[in-house]
Amino acid sequence: MSDRIVFLASRNAKKLGEMQRILAEVASGVVVVGLDEVAAYDEPVEDQPGFEGNALLKARAGLTATGLPTLADDSGLCVDALNGMPGVLSARWAGPPKSDARNNELLLAQLADVPDERRTAHFTCAVAYCHPDGTTHVVHGHMPGRVAREPRGSGGFGYDVLFVADELAEVDGREVTTAELDAADKDRISHRGKALAEIAPLVAASFGS
C-alpha cells in the first residue's frame, strides 16, 4: 500500500467520501480507505457510554488490525424531549437489524404528540485519530436543530431526512432537512463535517503535508 493512506473504520460510502473531500483540501494525495478495502478483523462492540469512548475504541482496534493511521467516528442524534436519546444508541434505536427507516419511524412515533417548539435536538460527533507513532487526537462537532414531522430528501443517511439544522433551515424560502442539502453545504454545517474539518490538518501533519 501507499504510505499516504489513512484508514477510516467505516463501511459507509458517504462517510468515506466526506472524509476524502475534506482531507483533500489540506493534504493532497492522501487516500482514505474503508473497512471493505482492508483485511477483515473482529470489530469491537461499541459498548462505551459516550461518543468519544466509542470513537477511540474503533480507532484503536483499526490501528491494531491494519497498522494504518486510523480514523473512527461515533455520532448520534440527541433529542431534548427524549432526555438526549437516542444518543449513542442512534444507529440501533429500533433494535436489530439496523435500519435507518425503522429508526426514523420509531423516532417520529415517540415525538408524535410533542409540539414543534419542543422538538429541539442536536447531532453530535466525536472523531478519533490514532497513528502508529502513538499519537492520538479526538475532536468534537455539533449541529443544533430540530426534528421535522415527516421525512424529506434523499441525501445523507440516518436521521438526516428528519433533521432541520438551525444554521441552514431554509433554501430559497423553503424549509429543508439535511437530507435535502448539497454535499458542500452539509459538510460546512454538519457535526461530522465540522469534526472532520478540525481533524484533517492533524491527519495532514502526520503525513508531513
C-alpha torsion sign, points 173, 179, 185, 186: positive
Peptide bond into 86 cis (omega under 30): yes
- The DSSP symbol for 208 reads T
Determine if residue 11 is labeled as part of a ligand binding site. yes
| Residues in contact with 1: Cβ distance below 8 Å, sequence separation at least 6, in sequence order | 68
Of 97, 113, 91, residue with least CA distance to 160: 91
Residue carrying C-alpha cell 431534548: 80
Say which amino acid occupies 37.
E
Determine if residue 74 is labeled as part of a ligand binding site. yes
Determine if residue 159 is labeled as part of a ligand binding site. yes
116 tagged catalytic: no
Determine if residue 163 is labeled as part of a ligand binding site. no
CA–CA distance, 15 with 68 (Å, rounded to integer): 18
Residue among 74, 100, 113, 182 flagged as catalytic: 74
Run of H or E including 179: none
Determine if residue 131 is labeled as part of a ligand binding site. no
| Residues in contact with 158: Cβ distance below 8 Å, sequence separation at least 6, in sequence order | 77, 90, 91, 100, 103
Determine if residue 15 is labeled as part of a ligand binding site. yes
Determine if residue 158 is labeled as part of a ligand binding site. yes
Say which amino acid occupies 128.
A
Run of H or E including 142: strand 136-147
Determine if residue 157 is labeled as part of a ligand binding site. yes
Counting Cβ atoms within 10 Å, is residue 128 exposed (0-12), middle (13-18) or buried (19+)? buried
Determine if residue 191 is labeled as part of a ligand binding site. yes
In the annotated binding site, the residues are 10-15, 74-75, 157-160, 186, 191-192
In the annotated binding site for Mg(2+), the residues are 74
Active site residues: 74
In the annotated binding site for substrate, the residues are 10-15, 75, 157-160, 186, 191-192
